[in-house]
Amino acid sequence: MLPSAPLFAGVELGGTKCVCIVGSGPGDIRQMRSVETGLHPQATLRQIEQTLDDMIAAEGSVEALGIASFGPVDLDPDSQRFGFITSTPKPGWRDTNVAARLRDRFGLPMAFDTDVNAAALAEGLWGAAQGLDDFAYVTVGTGIGVGIVAGGKTIKGFAHPEAGHIRVARSPGDTWPGNCPFHGACVEGLASGPAIEARAGRPAAQIPADDPVWDLVAHTLGQLCAMLTLTLAPKRILFGGGVLNGQAHLYGLIQKHFEDSLGGYLDHPQIIGVGAQYIRPAGLAELAGPLGALALAQGTVRS
């Protein structure tokens, strides 16, 4: 009998819920449970700790813990605020120390990164970016985040990228101010779930495919793709998140606005034209975030 794969634990901290997971990959998820992301971070973290306690007790020991968090977060291991959620708009969560608390509580090797970076790593291991060392993963949900993998590793400088907050050219005649509390009409302020609902007056899931709001969303996301292509030249751009799940009609619109934004400057058959598969859905769907936390945990062993 072959030995069973080592188990890992992960936590995906999201804007509305936190998902705890124990397993070794998409084909071996032993347990997965969620708790609400409340307005009081210490209470939510206590719930996460208790949930992980129960799951680990049921499944046996785990090798490491991965934490994939909404942000912005401090990822500098030399910083006194490493592992903190910093200037988030999430009420109550600003300046919350997540990583050190969970590391000390469980006494395990730990990896900490943004939720979108972690999801990108999971797509590289098990999803639609398998075999690629250079790609981008965009999540469109409560916010818009971009995870960049270059040379097989996520990009980090003084902080993690925040491409969801770049400002883009507006669709002709569109004067809606956007709803990002920091930047108004940035990518997130124009195309996130809350932005779409604020503009359209109903949640994205209730908006029919022929509604004009989708062309405005695709215009914004197409320009984001052009920016990523011109600055980083990823080999693929994947989209995940709750807003785009079930919205297959959007990919053709995004591709069109992407090509319009490039203006004929890049004539590469892998990224433009009929049959191009450059911009495509992520492969792990709603599991990308939790599996991203497992990917982070596994990285502590691989490194």
In a domain, 124, yes or no: no
CATH code (residue 38) = 3.30.420.40
pTM: 0.92
d(CA 1, CA 182): 56
Q: Are residues 109 and 152 in the same domain?
A: no
Place of tokens 């973290």: 45
Q: Are residues 138 and 271 in the same domain?
A: yes
Q: Do 6 and 60 touch, CB atoms closer than 8 A? A: no
Pair 137, 113 in one domain: no
Question: Is the alpha carbon torsion for 223, 266, 162, 47 positive or negative?
Answer: positive
185 in a structural domain: yes
Domain span holding position 77: 8-118+286-302
Residue 66 lies in a domain: yes
- Indicate the number of domains in the chain: 2
Q: What is the pLDDT along the chain (303 residues), one digit of tens a residue?
A: 335 789 999 999 998 899 999 999 999 999 999 999 999 999 999 999 999 999 999 998 999 999 999 989 999 988 999 999 998 878 899 999 999 999 999 999 999 999 999 999 999 999 999 999 999 999 999 899 999 999 999 988 787 889 999 999 999 999 999 999 899 999 999 999 999 999 999 999 999 999 999 999 999 999 999 999 999 999 999 999 989 887 889 999 999 999 999 998 988 888 887 677 899 999 998 999 999 999 999 998 865
Do 83 and 222 lie in one domain? The reply is: no
Could you tell me if 133 and 215 lie in one domain?
yes
* 143/272 same-domain check: yes
